[in-house]
């Protein structure tokens, strides 16, 4: 029965495709030349990803992946400010408060989409121009190519709202050089422009104003291979001189980041930061002290375990964590303090790292039986 439903969805999707360039739609799906193009179209919400958008992108991505006439997939955002500033956190918060099943469906849909991008057989090019955070990272980082610009602002700020850097963060963050991924995950540090490339998150760097030309050239490629696409991206990348001479923003701190963030527990990281006592270490300590202690512990373990897992295993683990966070209290309190009341003073429960027990953390990672994420 599922097969017929899926087939119907594909047919409906094809029919919808013809009129999906309606500029009011939250996501535009169109085929131009040999390219399937996904445009996130909620500029007022900084292209934040919601469930209806996920439910449109996923089947279309799968259709294009199977289509012999589609040679690459491009994803971008509208409005000039953001590629995608994250998931629609407010909707999830409202749903969680009333026990609505959106808190399951959103994460299931989002992580399945992340997996579809990570396993996509067609070259996938994400134009990460502007703000790229949380859910936006999940839409880009698992694909073959990520093109950053001088306007790119990358961050995984989840520990500040009682969540953890999900969307496969447990897979890609620990694989960045040294302990940079741990640092980004725990502190929510923001990387800008060419630094997104230097950190290993983007694969190419191109001026923002050159993106339309790049897109046109990508669409014009005749039945390109992954190598042809890489060559074109490389040619644009080489011509771009913006901030070329600048050193990586974290260069001077890398030694400290690698030693301070290599501890086995959050308490140990905090202890190391205090012992180090340098202005850099003190600044990190100040930042970490603002984060949800529960989130910090979940995140550190998520990355340590994710370092040796497949993307699928990571997404399953993260789904368990997402559901634990939905049942807890820090997520709702974090969203209240940061996004709703904006008083920036969340009351975390428990308020200290020492009070988050290992037993509690273990429970968050336990399999959910029939409710586990199916990929």
Is the model's pLDDT at 14 over the cut of 70? no
Q: Which of 5-19, 44-58, 75-89, 148-162 has the lowest mean pLDDT?
A: 5-19
Mean pLDDT of the 284-304 span: 98
- A 10 A CB-CB count for 203 gives 19
Query: Residues of the chain with pLDDT > 90: what percent?
Result: 94
User: What is the structure's pLDDT at 23?
Assistant: 75
DSSP 355: G
Mean pLDDT of the 251-277 span: 97
Q: What is the pLDDT of residues 341-353, one digit of tens each?
A: 999 999 999 999 9
- Burial code (b: 16+ CB inside 10 Å, e: under 16) for 133-156 equals bbbbbbbbbbbbbbbbbbbbbbbb
Distance CA 123, CA 37 (A): 12
User: What is the structure's pLDDT at 334?
Assistant: 98
The contacts of residue 62 (CB under 8 Å, 6+ apart) are 116
List beta partners, residue 192. 153
Listing DSSP states for 287-352 in one string gives HHHHS-HHHHHHHHHHHHHHTTS-HHHHHHHHHHHHHHHHHSSHHHHHHIIIIIS-------SS-S
Q: What is the pLDDT of residues 43-68, one digit of tens each?
A: 999 999 999 999 999 999 999 999 99
* Average pLDDT value for the chain: 95
User: What is the structure's pLDDT at 68?
Assistant: 97
Q: What is the pLDDT of residues 215-261, one digit of tens each?
A: 999 999 999 999 999 999 999 999 999 999 999 999 999 999 999 99
pTM for the full predicted model: 0.93
- How buried is residue 55: exposed, middle or buried, by Cβ count under 10 Å (0-12/13-18/19+)? middle
Q: What is the pLDDT of residues 92-122, one digit of tens each?
A: 999 999 999 999 999 999 999 999 999 999 9
Name the band, by pLDDT with cuts 50, 70 and 90, for residue 19. very low
Mean pLDDT of the 153-173 span: 98
Active-site annotation, residues: 87, 135, 158, 166
Please give the structure tokens belonging to residue 235.
Answer: 């040619």
> What are the Cα distances from residue 327, in Å, to 26, 297, 353?
29, 16, 19
Is the model's pLDDT at 17 over the cut of 70? no
Strands 153-155 and 191-192: antiparallel
Name the band, by pLDDT with cuts 50, 70 and 90, for residue 13. low
Is the model's pLDDT at 188 over the cut of 50? yes
User: What is the structure's pLDDT at 264?
Assistant: 96
Distance CA 346, CA 333 (A): 6
Please give the structure tokens belonging to residue 224.
Answer: 């390109």
**In order of start, what are the domains of the chain with their CATH numbers?**
25-371 (3.90.226.10)
The helix (H) or strand (E) run that includes residue 230 is: helix 226-239
Mean pLDDT of the 311-319 span: 98
> What are the Cα distances from residue 78, in Å, to 39, 51, 58, 229, 341?
7, 18, 19, 23, 28
- Contacts of the segment 96-103: beta carbons below 8 A, 24+ positions apart: 96/326, 96/331, 96/332, 97/332, 102/51, 103/323, 103/326
């Amino acid at each position: 029965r599922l097969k017929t439903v899926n087939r119907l969805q594909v047919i409906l999707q094809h029919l919808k495709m013809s009129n999906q360039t309606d500029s009011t739609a939250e996501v535009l799906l169109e085929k131009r030349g040999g390219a399937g193009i996904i445009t996130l179209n909620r500029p007022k919400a900084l292209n934040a990803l919601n469930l209806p958008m996920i439910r449109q992108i996923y089947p279309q991505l799968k259709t294009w992946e199977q289509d012999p006439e589609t040679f690459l997939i491009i994803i971008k955002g509208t409005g000039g400010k953001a590629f995608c500033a994250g998931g629609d956190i407010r909707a999830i918060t409202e749903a969680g408060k009333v026990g609505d099943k959106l808190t399951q469906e959103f994460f299931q849909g989002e992580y399945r989409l992340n997996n579809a991008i990570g396993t996509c057989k067609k070259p996938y090019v994400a134009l990460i121009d502007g703000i790229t955070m949380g859910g936006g990272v999940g839409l880009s980082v698992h694909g073959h190519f990520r093109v950053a610009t001088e306007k790119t602002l990358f961050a995984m700020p989840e520990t500040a709202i009682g969540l953890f850097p999900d969307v496969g963060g447990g897979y890609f963050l620990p694989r960045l050089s040294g302990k940079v991924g741990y640092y980004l995950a725990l502190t929510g540090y923001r990387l800008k422009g060419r630094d997104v490339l230097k950190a290993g998150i983007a694969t190419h760097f191109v001026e923002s104003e050159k993106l339309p030309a790049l897109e046109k050239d990508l669409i014009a490629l005749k039945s390109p291979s992954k190598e042809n696409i890489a060559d074109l991206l490389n040619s644009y990348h080489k011509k771009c001189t913006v901030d070329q001479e600048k050193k990586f923003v974290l260069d001077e701190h890398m030694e400290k980041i690698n030693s301070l963030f290599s501890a086995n527990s959050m308490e140990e990281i905090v202890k190391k930061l205090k012992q180090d006592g340098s202005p850099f270490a003190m600044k990190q300590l100040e930042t970490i002290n603002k984060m949800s202690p529960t989130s910090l512990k979940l995140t550190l373990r998520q990355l340590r375990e994710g370092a040796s897992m497949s993307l699928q295993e990571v997404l399953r683990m993260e789904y368990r964590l997402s559901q634990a966070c939905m049942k807890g209290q820090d997520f709702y309190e974090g969203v209240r303090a940061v996004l709703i009341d904006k008083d920036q003073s969340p009351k975390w429960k428990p308020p200290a790292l020492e009070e988050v027990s290992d037993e509690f953390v273990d429970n968050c990672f336990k399999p959910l039986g029939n409710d586990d994420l199916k990929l």
